[in-house]
Structure formats: structure tokens, C-alpha cells
Structure 1
Amino acid sequence: MSNVPQQRLLQTAIPGPKSAALQARKTAAVSAGVSTGLPVYVERAGGGILVDVDGNQLIDFGSGIAVTTVGNAAPRVVERVTAQVQDFTHTCFMVTPYEEYLEVAEALNDLTPGDHEKRTALFNSGAEAVENAVKVARHFTGRNAVVAFDHAYHGRTNLTMALTAKNMPYKHKFGPFAGEVYRAPMSYPFRWPGGPADCAKESFDVFVQQVHAQVGEDNVAAVVLEPIQGEGGFIVPAPGFVKQVAQWCADNGILFIADEVQSGFCRTGDWFASEHEDVVPDLITTAKGIAGGLPLAGVTGRADVMDSVHGGGLGGTYGGNPIACAAALGAIETMKEEDLCGRAKQVEALFVPRLKALAEKYPQIGDIRGRGAMLAVELVNGPGDLTPNAALTGAVNKACHAEGLVTLTCGTYGNVFRFLPPLAASDELLSEGLDIFEKAFAASV
């Protein structure tokens, strides 16, 4: 249990004076390119609460963008990290290795979908993991082309910016980007021209036709797909789409890469979102929720694929840092011991009825989607008008912040409200957060 009191408490306006002073220092010291959605400076956190420097206690519906799934400063994570810091902080696994890296790799090989023989390599961030997965795929297949999807988000490095679909703020004026990256339409039931009922078949047919015509199957090394898209709007593909794409890849000698950086580690009610339709990726990328807040990422995949790379072809100075590995082992232990997959399903059962009731009252909620504790509502102008309503989304977000609820938006059009609470948060806190969201919505419409 967290030693942070699990209750919302507002001592000042949000942000308070101490946070405002720190934000002034941030403006003077940090690049303007590094923005903050809510300039409240945190000094302690635990469970579902963030405590700021002004003594305010805020309910956390963001988990640091799906990172603190096990809760902030989770006891098992803290215990393992503390012990590891006392032992040693770094040697570089490529120079003198250590057992903690092996334990994380073994855990990932065991937990990720499929019972085939696997190998893992560890890195620092989701973007690094995706970039290295593409490197592996190109090396193994001898092909160059990579296919990604509309609304995709895969990172901020040069190659992952090329894979990412959204220009502002991720790609604007940062080109030229890596070549041989192609984009296909995403299976997006809410906005599919033919309607949700036909989305799975039609979107898959369009995908196949477009890749065949514009790229050529024999040129494609990999298809990179988020089983539930993250930054692009928590878009859940039509049932069957992901499985069809994975099978098409297998039929054409193409590697299917599941980017589970945001959807992995119990977030969707399964260990990985791919499991929902029994999809077994050739390669799977992980980060965010893997290590309870410490920077760690992984690429896990078929042994023959991962072992095809020459010695020294994968790695990095900090990849699989021992402290981050210790944190991951503590986080994974927490997920198992506390059945956080089951907890994610409980969160869904709590949220969805409340969101549906709100949608019945306010037609600006055009779609409710997601699984587990990875949920979202898409806001539009109203009945018969699906124009994205980014202004309302921003207004609700601002109103939530003012009442001590940390919330996040997303979506290609900036009109999606996403819910990513820590799975350590109590039902009471989650219900109070939903109360705040509902009041903010009513006040903003």
C-alpha cells in the first residue's frame, strides 16, 4: 500500500504559487520545445494520487501516459530498486553483463503472446524499441519497406517520426524523415466511410490493395501496428482486422510487429492487447508500464528472427540498465501478485456505464471505446455532425485540471479524451474522478 493519503485535497488554486514559481524557472532553463500539459510540480506520489509542492493532492487519470500502471513508488518496485542501487548502478550489459537483464528477458519471453522460442533485447524507450524492431525485420527479411497506419504514433526519433502519422507537434519541420516507410488506412470503426459493420472487411481489403499497388508485398519487411492505437486516439480496430493483417503478413513472408508500448502490461485487461484476438506477433515492442516509472523498453520476438542479427548489431550504453531491470522485476511481480489484468477489467466495468450514461445525456460524445483501463471518448459537434470537437475537449480537460483531476487528451484531431488511471487506484478515487469529469463536461458544453 502507498504511504500517500488516497484522497483528493485542494489547498490552493491549480497550479499553486510554488508550482507557478517552478514553472517560471522551467521557462528560463528548459527548451520551449518541452511543453507541460499541466504545470503542477509533483513532490510525492502513490496509488492514484499525486501530491504537488503546494500540498495539493490530485487524482491521477494519466499514469504518466500509461507508465505507472502498478502505481507510483509501488512497494515491490521501490524495494528492488533500493537493493539494486546499493549493489551497483551500471556496468553496461555489452561490457560486463548481469543477471537482472537475463531475468527481465526471460520474463518477457514467457509473458508475451505465443509459446514458440523467443529472444529479447532491452533498450531505453518505446521509440528505441520500435526502431530496433524495424532494424531486426529489415535484417532478417533482406527487404526495406515498412508499412504503418493512419493515426499511428511510434515515437520521436527520425525513423519513428516517419512511422508516426500526426504532423503537429511530432513531425512539424523536423524532416527529412527516414525512407521506405509507407502508410495504410487504419481500421477506424467510428469514422469508417462504410460504417462500423463493414469496417473490418473493407479496411483489410483496402490495406491489402494499397500495399500491393503502392509497395509490393515482396518489398515489405514489416507491418507495424498498435493493437489499440495510443496517441492517435485510442482507436480499437474492428474485430478481426489485426488477426487478418497478421495472417496476411505470415502468408507473404512479412514480419508483423505489434507496438504494445502503451497497451502492454495489463493495461487492456490482458498482459498484451494482441491476446484479445489470439494474435501472436513475430516481434513485439514494450516500454511504458514495464518498469513502474523507470526507463526501460524491450523487443521480444521469434528466436530465429532475433538471433539473425550479427553480434554488436543491437544494444546501447544504457539499454537494460540494472536499476531499470530491478524495477521491471518488481512491477511484473506486482502485476502477477495483485492480478492487475483482472483489476483492469474491473476499471472498465466501473468506467463504461458512467461514460455511456453521460453519452446519452450529451450527444457531443460520439464514441466510447477501449478495453480495460485504456479507455476514451471521442468528442464531436453533435448528432449527425462528426466534426472533431477539439475546443470542447480542451475545455473539459482544463476544467478537470482546475478541480484536481490529472487528465490527458489525444487523437489526430485533438478531440479524444483518454483515461489511463493507475491500476493501484481505488474504486472510490476512480468514482470521484468520474464525478469531476462529468461536472467538467456539463460546465463546458
Structure 2
Amino acid sequence: MTAITYRLAQKRHLITPLPGPRSAELTARRRQAVPAGVGSSVPVYAADADGGVIVDVDGNSLIDLGSGIAVTSVGASDPGVVEAVREQAGHFTHTCFMVTPYEGYIRVAEELAELTPGDHEKRTVLFNSGAEAVENAIKVARLATGRNAVVAFDHAYHGRTNLTMALTAKTLPYKHNFGPFAPEIYRMPMSYPYRDAEGLTGEQAARRTISQIEKQIGADALAAVIIEPIQGEGGFIVPAPGFLPTLAAWAREHGVVFIADEVQTGFARTGSWFACDDENVVPDIITMAKGIAGGMPLAAITGRSDLLDKVHAGGLGGTYGGNPVACAAALAALDTMRTHDLPARARAIGDTATRRLRALAAEVDVIGDVRGRGAMIAIELVRPGSTDPDADLAKRIAAQCLDDGVVILTCGTHGNVIRLLPPLVIDDDLLADGLDVLAQAIRTAADN
């Protein structure tokens, strides 16, 4: 990574207990204005952020190991993104691409055609959120194939809209009492090496899944298979090698659209531009969001031209989809990723974090698994002497980290996984300090 000049000091510094008085005041105001159904992981309120730090309204500087859930990969105020947003906003903030189009949308589509896996002819549509991208990928697959059924996986997360809730596996908090959900969604087993039968290969796990698809649905009724190449909310589950290629090859053979949901894994996060690159998997459609635009709301689907071009005029779009300011931010964010070689930086972050966490796992008996790829790392916590998930332990560790000035996130079907998603521009000293705090929190929780 080339040298980065940061606007804010890249160090952890606490001047009040957390949350501080100003954050507590905002929490009181929030209760009167925002419904309880909108949750927040930590009770501190941001005032500034840069590189790998978040400064709260009380002046505390916290280490950010979450990146707003893998969004601010280039940092929360990357100079290139900030300038691009300022420049574009000074000309126009909106015309609607479906009314008066503009070049920025086309430039983003061209970039995504170049970056995404495969050298086939592609088309791209821009949207606002990952869930919207997933909805539209399913729309395209159903129209193009003339079929209705869609396969999703155990532990999957695809969004909070009606269709994407149906695709998502976890009930609480995402689906509870929000049904009925969209029909013709079928759930299949995922490759989960830590919890699969010992010795089960990726190809064998894929054949298990394929057998169930053929028995329960039939390939001729199946429009699409949608899968996160590394599952996010489900626990950063990395399927065994061979699982994705075997599944993709079967889909191709049977005319089933293979959709890779790279909303969380895309844009250098896993050490490649996309997680599918690791096993040379070429999806028919890829969904993207989060890290695409340096924090601005933008999402996309990029797919085979013969699929997307089947959709009738007006069948895809949206008032804000491909907003010109968000497009400018995306082009600047992609430039930053290239300039600083953030795929390589993600690999370096992953090497550092994984080495330290696996050494820690040898010290304590509450870490069942350390896994991930690049700067997408997970620690699965279990009760000592077992593989039983320990969600309470994960909560205690996250709370202790916050007390000490480090923001981390939890996830997993059972809530027992700590996930690390640092900004890819975090410096080595700040990363080391954050990992020190996390390691001490785990040791303390294990002792207690």
C-alpha cells in the first residue's frame, strides 16, 4: 500500500467513559424520535471519521474494525471521494437516469464490466442498496429463464425487503412476524467446514446440495441459485474449496442462473476484487453494494448481456438508482483502491489478524474456529470443551472492546461470531492496537 496522509490522528484515545455525556443525551433524544426497531451496535454517536478511526461527539477516538459493515473500505472520508462528491454536487445532484441520463452512470457500468469475473459481454444496472440489487437479479433470472424457483442457503443473508427476507435464513431479528414472504424460495445446505462432518470436501458438500435440489425442485423448474461466496451475517462462513465451482458448473449445465451475492465480499475486501476470483468462479449475475462507493448509497448488478438484455424497456430502474453523486463517489473509490492496491492490503491485514488470532486460539478454550479471507475475518466462540455456540460470550467481548475504545461487530446464525472488517486503509500500528484490545477482551472473558 502506498503511503496515506490521514486527516485525523490514527490512534485510540478515550477522554470519557463510553458512552460519554453527549452520546447519552443523543440516545435520550433518539428514543423520542426513532423507533426501537432501528438498532445500533454501539451507543456512541459519530462526529468525524478518517482512515481507521471514528471520533465520537464527546471527543473520544475509537478504532474502527467494522467499516460500517464493510462499506468504508477506503476510509470514511477518503480525499478522492470527498472531492468527487463536492465536484459533482456543485453541478447537479439528480436528474434521474431514466429521464435525463449522464455519463457517470455509464462510466461506472464500464468499470464494473471490466472488474467483475469473466471476459464475456456484460450489462450493468445501478440501484441504491444491496437488497434492491438482489431483488432485481432475481427478477432478471426469472424473466430470462421463464422459471420461478430460487435456491438460497442455510445461514444466508440477502436483505430486509420482502423477497430478500425470504432468501435470508435467520429469523431474529430479520424475519420475525414480517411474513408472509415471497413464494418459491427453497433453502439448501451450505458448506460449513467447521460444523460439517469431518472430511467432507467442498465437492461432496455441493453434490449433497445438488441432490436435494434435483429431488425437491427439479432443475427444469429452477430459475436461479443465489449464494454469498463467503457468507456475511451468517458467520463469515467460507465454503470448502470446490463447493462453489461444482455448484456453478451444475447450474451452467442446466440453464440455471448462478447469482453471486458479493454485496459484502466485493471490492478488495477478501484480497481479490471479488471473492469469486479465488476459485475462478464466473457468475452469470453478480450483485454489489457496500464498498462500491466509499460510503455513498449505490448498488449494482452486472451480468451476462444475453440475460439482462431480455428485460423489456422500463423493466429495470428506479428514481434514485445510479445517483450522479454516488456514481462520482464510486469512480473515486475505485481509483483509491487501485492507487493503494487495496486487494494486496486486504491480504496483508488478513495475514496479520489470522496469525495473531490462531495463536490466541491455542491459548484459550473458547475459540472454536478462526476463518476468513483477506480483511474479512471471523472468530467463532464456543463453550469450553464443546462446539456449542456461545452468543453471550461474543456480546461480552464486544462490550469490553467498546469500553476500551474498539468497535467490533458480531454475527452468525447463533450470534456467536465476532467479525472483523477493518477499513483497508487502516495503518499497521492502529490495527495492532485494535487486535491487542480484542485479544485481551477474549482472554478476560475466557478466564471469567
TM-score if structure 1 supplies the norm length?
0.99
Q: Distance in 2 between matches of 1:68 and 1:115?
A: 28
What corresponds to 1:54 in structure 2? 58
Q: Distance in 1 between matches of 2:226 and 2:254?
A: 15
What corresponds to 2:134 in structure 1? 130
Q: Distance in 2 between matches of 1:181 and 1:246?
A: 18
Residue ranges of structure 2 left out of the alignment (5+ in a row): none
What corresponds to 1:3 in structure 2? 7
Contact 2:19 2:44 (C-alpha < 8 Å) held by counterparts: yes
Contact 2:398 2:410 (C-alpha < 8 Å) held by counterparts: yes
What corresponds to 1:224 in structure 2? 226
SS at match of 2:388: strand
The one of 244, 247, 255 aligned to 1:245: 247
Q: Distance in 2 between matches of 1:230 and 1:36?
A: 18
Residue ranges of structure 1 left out of the alignment (5+ in a row): none
- Listed one character per residue, the Cα deviations across residues 219-261 of structure 1 (whole Å, up to 9, x for unaligned) are 0000000000000000000001001000000011000000000
What corresponds to 1:23 in structure 2? 27
Whether 1:332 aligns to 2:330 is no
What corresponds to 1:106 in structure 2? 110
What corresponds to 1:380 in structure 2? 382
SS at match of 2:387: strand
The two structures, once aligned, show a CA RMSD in angstroms of 0.7
- Listed one character per residue, the Cα deviations across residues 151-175 of structure 1 (whole Å, up to 9, x for unaligned) are 0000000000000000000000000
Change (3 A) 1:72 1:374: same
- Please show how residues 79-228 of structure 1 align to structure 2 within 5 Å: 79-192=83-196, 194-195=197-198, 197-228=199-230
What corresponds to 1:403 in structure 2? 404
Q: AA paired with 1:175?
A: G
Offset of residue 42 of structure 1: 0.5
What corresponds to 1:423 in structure 2? 424
Offset of residue 53 of structure 1: 0.5
Contact 1:188 1:199 (C-alpha < 8 Å) held by counterparts: no
Offset of residue 374 of structure 1: 0.4
Offset of residue 349 of structure 1: 1.4
Contact 1:410 1:417 (C-alpha < 8 Å) held by counterparts: yes
Q: Distance in 1 between matches of 2:203 and 2:256?
A: 20
Offset of residue 323 of structure 1: 0.5
Whether 1:264 aligns to 2:261 is no
Contact 2:230 2:265 (C-alpha < 8 Å) held by counterparts: yes
Contact 2:203 2:246 (C-alpha < 8 Å) held by counterparts: no
The one of 336, 357, 360 aligned to 2:359: 357
- Listed one character per residue, the Cα deviations across residues 43-77 of structure 1 (whole Å, up to 9, x for unaligned) are 11000000000000000000000000001110110
Contact 2:129 2:299 (C-alpha < 8 Å) held by counterparts: yes
Q: Distance in 1 between matches of 2:374 and 2:440?
A: 23
Contact 1:153 1:166 (C-alpha < 8 Å) held by counterparts: yes
Runs of 4+ in 1 over 4 A off after TM superposition: none
What corresponds to 1:414 in structure 2? 415
Q: Distance in 2 between matches of 1:201 and 1:382?
A: 31
Contact 2:201 2:242 (C-alpha < 8 Å) held by counterparts: no
Offset of residue 199 of structure 1: 3.7
Contact 1:2 1:75 (C-alpha < 8 Å) held by counterparts: no
SS at match of 2:75: coil
Q: Distance in 2 between matches of 1:87 and 1:4?
A: 29
SS at match of 1:298: strand
Matched pairs, number: 442
Whether 1:290 aligns to 2:325 is no
Contact 2:203 2:241 (C-alpha < 8 Å) held by counterparts: no
Contact 1:10 1:404 (C-alpha < 8 Å) held by counterparts: yes
- Listed one character per residue, the Cα deviations across residues 260-308 of structure 1 (whole Å, up to 9, x for unaligned) are 0000000000000000000000000000000000000000000111111
Q: Distance in 2 between matches of 1:189 and 1:410?
A: 17
Q: Distance in 2 between matches of 1:39 and 1:291?
A: 26
Q: Distance in 1 between matches of 2:273 and 2:243?
A: 20
Q: Distance in 2 between matches of 1:444 and 1:71?
A: 31
The one of 33, 45, 63 aligned to 1:41: 45
Q: Distance in 1 between matches of 2:217 and 2:355?
A: 44
- Listed one character per residue, the Cα deviations across residues 101-153 of structure 1 (whole Å, up to 9, x for unaligned) are 00101000110000111000000000000000000000000000000000000
Q: Distance in 1 between matches of 2:115 and 2:208?
A: 33
What corresponds to 1:347 in structure 2? 349
Q: AA paired with 1:433?
A: G
Contact 1:234 1:418 (C-alpha < 8 Å) held by counterparts: yes
Q: Distance in 2 between matches of 1:266 and 1:339?
A: 9
Q: Distance in 1 between matches of 2:73 and 2:337?
A: 9
Offset of residue 213 of structure 1: 1.0
Offset of residue 198 of structure 1: 1.4
Offset of residue 363 of structure 1: 1.8
Q: Distance in 1 between matches of 2:307 and 2:104?
A: 23
Offset of residue 218 of structure 1: 0.3
